[in-house]
């Protein structure tokens, strides 16, 4: 089978590999579409905390496909079922798993990093991690289920957002775009902030979704925020930047009594003025990964047409030149590159 394999820092190749074997309690999935996310891009650079990934490694964890082979011990699925996979395996035994917090399992493993991933014609999955794709959702669109589940968790579970509130989403990367889309669908007034590098592709994409944006290289955020919130400050700020400045800016833009939800993973320590946050009773929450319910919510959003993948998914990149997709993503020239191994 064809597979995109990382062999070193900024080095990936399309190679031939044997189709993986399936154990009795596993399922073989024929991959149709599989996306590139921020963690994939950082793993591709092979720095910033991703140096532990053992190479060579078949990358990828966001995908949709069709069940091809079912192990003898699997009764939940049959060949031909259209599925997406939650790429995180949990132990089910640690305190967090037993306490209903399996998204922060102590012994988790992630597809495409701890084990071979979905940038291939076939991948192996455990049935407990599979979700059925609704009939009216294409597999190309379903490939964004995993990042959409992360956004759904951030908005529905970890935030206290209610309709009519003002929201600032910092960063128009894939998670930021999806968080903005979900918050907008909740009836919030949403503003997405980005940098000059986002001006050509990512901010216009957000605007095509009907959501307002601000290019911080051209407009002052304080002045924009004052106009957007009538000088009160944002009810809620989602930081999806993955940079320490994101949460610091969030503390400046949130209103007294508001909430900050940090979704990105800052690579550097932040310096927060905690006294002001306490006096203003600002709540700081975090959101990490997703669980079963979040995946089901994401699929419901796709099935209802609440989120429009056609505006977000970029299938212009070929599996023959995977490095082009990573380069474009890292240069903010695209938001959600998706490799296609099969058509629907």
Q: Where residue 220 sits, what CATH number does that domain have? A: 3.40.50.720
Q: What is the CATH number of the domain that holds 320?
A: 3.90.180.10
Q: Which of 271, 286, 301 represents a domain boundary (last residue)?
A: 286
Q: Work out the average pLDDT over 280-302.
A: 97
> Could you tell me the residue range of the domain that residue 163 belongs to?
150-286
Q: Which pLDDT value is given to residue 263?
A: 97
Residue 164, token pair as written in the block: 């009519």
The pLDDT, as a whole number, for residue 67 is 98
Do 183 and 82 share a structural domain? no
- Are 276 and 325 within one domain? no
The answer on 110 and 53 residing in a single domain is: yes
pLDDT of 252 strictly over 80: yes
Given this model, what pLDDT does residue 52 score?
93
When pLDDT is cut at 50, 70 and 90, the band that residue 268 belongs to is confident
Instruction: Tell me, yes or no, whether 232 and 326 share the same domain.
Output: no
Q: Tell me how far apart the alpha carbons of residues 184 and 188 are, in angstroms, rounded to a whole number.
A: 5
Does residue 88 belong to any structural domain of this protein? yes
The verdict on residue 95 lying in a domain is yes
Assigned domain for 306 exists: no
pLDDT at 10 over 90: yes
- Is there a single domain that holds both residue 159 and residue 266? yes
What is this structure's pTM?
A: 0.96
Q: Tell me whether residue 293 is in a domain.
A: no
With 80 as the cut, is the pLDDT of residue 270 above it?
no
Per-residue pLDDT of 216-242, as tens digits, reads: 999 999 999 999 999 999 999 999 998
In a domain, 291, yes or no: no
d(CA 16, CA 38): 26
In whole angstroms, how far apart are CA 301 and each of 39, 72, 95, 182, 340? 23, 33, 31, 9, 22
Split into its structural domains, the chain has a count of 2
In degrees, rounded to 5, the angle at the alpha carbon of residue 41 between the alpha carbons of residues 181 and 172 is 25
Q: Say yes or no: 209 and 104 in one domain.
A: no
Residues 228 and 258 in one domain: yes
The overall average pLDDT reported for the chain is: 95
Percent of the chain clearing pLDDT 70 (strictly above): 100
Least confident of 187-201, 219-233, 266-280: 266-280
The predicted pLDDT at position 267 comes to 72
pLDDT for 35 equals 97
User: What is the spatial distance between Cα 133 and Cα 300, in angstroms, rounded to a whole number?
Assistant: 9
pLDDT > 90: percent of the chain: 92
Model confidence pLDDT, tens digit, residues 147-189 = 999 999 999 999 999 999 999 999 999 999 999 999 999 999 9
The DSSP H or E segment spanning 32 is strand 27-35
């Amino acid at each position: 089978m064809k597979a995109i394999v990382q062999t070193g820092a900024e080095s990936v190749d399309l190679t031939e590999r044997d189709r993986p074997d399936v154990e009795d309690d596993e399922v073989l999935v024929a991959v149709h579409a599989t996306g590139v996310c921020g963690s994939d891009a950082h793993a591709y650079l092979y720095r910033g905390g991703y140096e532990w990934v053992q190479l060579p490694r078949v990358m990828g964890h966001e995908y949709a496909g069709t069940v091809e082979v079912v192990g003898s011990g699997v009764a939940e699925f049959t060949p031909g079922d259209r599925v997406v996979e939650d790429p995180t395996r949990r132990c089910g035994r640690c305190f967090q798993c037993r306490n209903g917090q399996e998204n922060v399992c102590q012994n988790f493993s992630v597809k495409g990093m701890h084990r071979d991933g979905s940038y291939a014609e076939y991948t192996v999955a455990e049935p407990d991690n599979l979700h059925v794709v609704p009939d009216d959702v294409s597999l190309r669109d379903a490939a964004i289920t995993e990042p959409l589940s992360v956004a759904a968790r951030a908005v529905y579970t970890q935030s206290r957002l209610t309709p009519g509130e003002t929201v600032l989403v910092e960063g128009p990367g894939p998670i930021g775009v999806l968080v903005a889309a979900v918050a907008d669908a909740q009836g919030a007034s949403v503003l997405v902030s980005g940098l000059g590098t986002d001006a050509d592709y990512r901010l216009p994409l957000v605007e095509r979704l009907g959501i307002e944006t601000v290019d911080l290289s051209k407009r002052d955020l304080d002045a924009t925020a004052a106009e957007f919130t009538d000088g009160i400050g944002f009810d809620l700020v989602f930081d999806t930047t993955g940079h320490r400045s994101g949460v610091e800016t969030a503390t400046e833009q949130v209103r007294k009594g508001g909430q900050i939800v940090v979704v990105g993973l800052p690579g550097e320590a932040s310096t927060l003025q905690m006294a002001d946050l306490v006096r203003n009773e600002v709540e700081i929450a975090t959101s990490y990964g997703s669980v079963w319910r979040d995946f089901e919510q994401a699929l419901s959003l796709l099935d209802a047409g609440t989120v429009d993948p056609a505006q977000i998914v970029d299938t212009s990149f070929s599996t023959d030149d995977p490095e082009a997709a990573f380069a474009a993503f890292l240069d903010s020239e695209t938001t959600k590159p998706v490799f296609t191994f099969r058509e629907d």
